[in-house]
Structures are given as structure tokens and as C-alpha cells.
Amino acid sequence: MKKIILSAVMLTSLAVAQQEVKETTEKSFIDRFHFKGDLRLRYESKEKTYFDGSEKNTYHNRYRLRLGLKADIIDGLQFEVGARSGNANPTSGNQTFKDDEALSEYFWDSLSLNVVALNYKFDNSTIKAGRAAYMMYRPIKSQLVWDNDISLDGLNYQYKDDSNIITFGINQTSFADASVSKDDVNLFLAQYVRTMKLENAKLNLGAGFYYYDGIKGNTPLYDSNKGSGMGNTMVTDENGALVFANDYHIAEGFAELKFKELLGMPFALAAGVVYNTAVSDKNFGYDVAFQIGKAKKINDWQVKYSYTELQEDATLGAHSDSDNFGGGTAAKGHAIRAKYKFDKHTYLAGSWFYSTRYASKDAKAGDTDYERVQLDAIIKF
């Protein structure tokens, strides 16, 4: 698979080289570089109440730092690089402050590259080669299948116009910094979104298929979830190792209705379903949500509510929402997320999760009540 991806990258580079090179003379050298970043400070509580009445509660002060740079090479071609904290966790940049260590002792160690890619844009198309952020469309930023922070390693293509979004990709999780799986995992993805303009709204209808090759019989994929299936069904192999019991060939469908203004504010509602075609049991999930407001200008605010249920093997837990349920599958519950734009570069935000984790997720005899609160201050620069 690595040879396939490297060959595809080479072919992409050759195709780009054959394009007419048009110098962007109106830009100075420094204008070709685009920097961005953000720092998030977070207080977080996690409270678990098990079926027998016992509890496990944890409280953290955390930060997340993200840095990004895009460099214009020629017209349409960019080199992109990014780093974030979190010790190469694929679904989170969070780093907990340590009471017994100075920040300087672990700050730089927590940073890792999450983006190293070439982006080539032409007409309505974009090609990304290397390690880059996901390209799939997510209704109201749903994390039913894909966590906000996921990056993919491979070759991905997207066509986008006013009515259509078409996305294809060939990726391999083993290229990730934190990959620890004993065997390579290949990911083939495809998604189509159709946009229809209504009188007072916009309707997005979408479907996707995400084919993981190499999951069944493999060990957990990343160092951050080593020894855990993140809710997915696991078994012990002949060597005593914990391995996935099933494959993941995931079909997704969704609908999203977005009103530019309803009762004086932006409003959107969405519903999505996910179904693992590779297994016949515990393979379904869904998400319903609405959002009011949009924190774009100073003093703007937004609130999103969602209810999500994911059976154990509905999707790959290592790539789905890392906040809801404590991450992964095998749970159901409510999520409320709010954001307020305090000034030009600063946001205040909060998230509240009220969930039920299935007995299988915590290896208990009964379900677990799970509550999580996140209070954030975010600075963008």
C-alpha cells in the first residue's frame, strides 16, 4: 500500500509539473507565507457512576496549541505544514498541565506534526497529497464518523461547486506518528453531497462509504488507545493480544437544512446515520442535532444540541468523536455545545455531555452514567 500511495503522489507531482507555471508577480516573497494558530485553555471534569453506585471522577486543567503554515509555491500549488500538542493523539490536541513538572519540561515534547502536505487546486478541484486534515463534509460539524481533529495520510481529491461535493481518497493509518497497529490498515473513502437551494434555506443531502482494509485481527491503531477498542468489539488472539473482532466497511447518510435566518438568527438542523456493512450485529448509529446562532462577529453566540447513539461496531471508535461518551462507540447521550465571540481573536466556549456508556465499553456488568463538562477560552492568531 505504501508503494501505491507513493506512486500516486509522484504521478500527482508530475501532473502539476506539466501545468503552465505562472509566476505570481504581484506577491512579494513574504506574502507567499500564511501563518495561523490558536491556543485553547480548558477546565474539564469527567464523572462516571457505575451500575453498582461506585464512582470515578477526574478533573483537569488542559491546553491545546495548534500552529499552521501554508506556502504558495506556484499558482494553485501550496505546501502546508502544521503542528499541535497532544503527543500525536489522532483525535485530540489536549495536553494536561502537570502539577509536578514545569511546563518547559513537557511542552515541546507534546507537539507533533499533524499536517505535512502538498495542496493543488485547479478549477473546482483540490488534491491533497501527504498528511492533511480530513476533507469529508460533516453536517453541523457532526462527529458521528470523524472527529474534528482527524488527519489522513495519503492521497485525497475533492470536487466542489455550488451544487455538488465529490470526495475520494486512498489513505493508510500506519503512516500516522502514533501508529502502533501490528499490521497496516488501508482506508478507501468516497462521499457525495448534493446541495439544493430552497426559498429561505439550503438543503444538503449526503452519502459516504469508508472501507477499512486490515482491521479484523489487528491490534488497536494508535498509542493513545493502546489496549482499548474505544468501544469496538475486541477479542484475544492466540498470542494473548487484544485484537479487533470485526472489519469496518462503513456506510453513512445524512441530511442538513440550513436557514440563513430564522427568527432573526442563523439556524440549522441535521440528522445522520451510520451502518457497518461488514457485521450483522451492533452495527448501527445515528445523530440528530440543531444549532442556533453563529459566532462570527464580536458578541455573536451559538448553541448546538445533539443526541447520538453508536452501537459497538457502528463505526471505528478510534476515529469518531473523542469527547462524547469519553470517545469512541458503545454509548448514547446528549451533548450541548455553546460558543461566544468575546472579541476579534477570543472566544469563550462550553460543552456539556450527559451519556450512558454500555456495559461492554467499561467491561462492567451494567451500564455507566457519564457526565463531562468542558469550559474553554480560545485565542486565535
- Over residues 122-136, the pLDDT tens digits come to 999 999 999 999 999
Report the C-alpha gap between 362 and 334 in whole angstroms: 19
pLDDT along the chain (381 residues), means of 10: 42 43 60 96 98 96 97 96 94 93 88 96 97 97 97 97 98 91 96 96 98 97 91 95 97 97 94 98 98 97 98 98 96 98 97 98 96 98 94
**Residue 227: what pLDDT?**
84
**Is 162 within the bounds of a domain?**
yes
Give me the CATH number covering residue 288.
2.40.160.10
109 assigned to some structural domain = yes
Beta bridge partner(s), residue 63: 41, 95
pLDDT of residue 26: 58
Residue 117: inside a domain, yes or no?
Answer: yes
pLDDT at position 18 is 45
Domain that residue 133 falls in: 2-19+32-380
Q: What is the DSSP string of 294-316?
A: ---STT-EEEEEEEEEE-TTSS-
Q: Are 192 and 206 in contact (CB under 8 A)?
A: yes
Number of domains in the chain: 1
The CA–CA distances, whole Å, from 152 to 2, 40, 146, 236 equal 14, 23, 11, 28
Report pLDDT for 100: 86
CA distances from 209 to 192, 274, 371 (A): 9, 10, 32
Instruction: Give me the numbers of helices (H) and strands (E) for the chain, helices first please.
Output: 3, 19
Structure-block grid coordinates of residue 85: 500538542
Query: CB of 208 within 8 A of CB of 277?
Result: no
For residue 177 the three cell numbers come to: 506518528
Helix (H, G, I), strand (E, B) or coil at 219: coil
| Amino acid 339: pLDDT | 98
Check residue 177 and give its pLDDT.
85
Closest CA to 331 of 366, 283, 368: 368
Per the domain annotation, does 254 fall within a domain?
A: yes
Alpha-carbon distance of 220 to 379, in angstroms, equals: 34
Q: Which residues contact 239 (CB under 8 A, 6 or more apart)?
A: none
In a domain, 24, yes or no: no
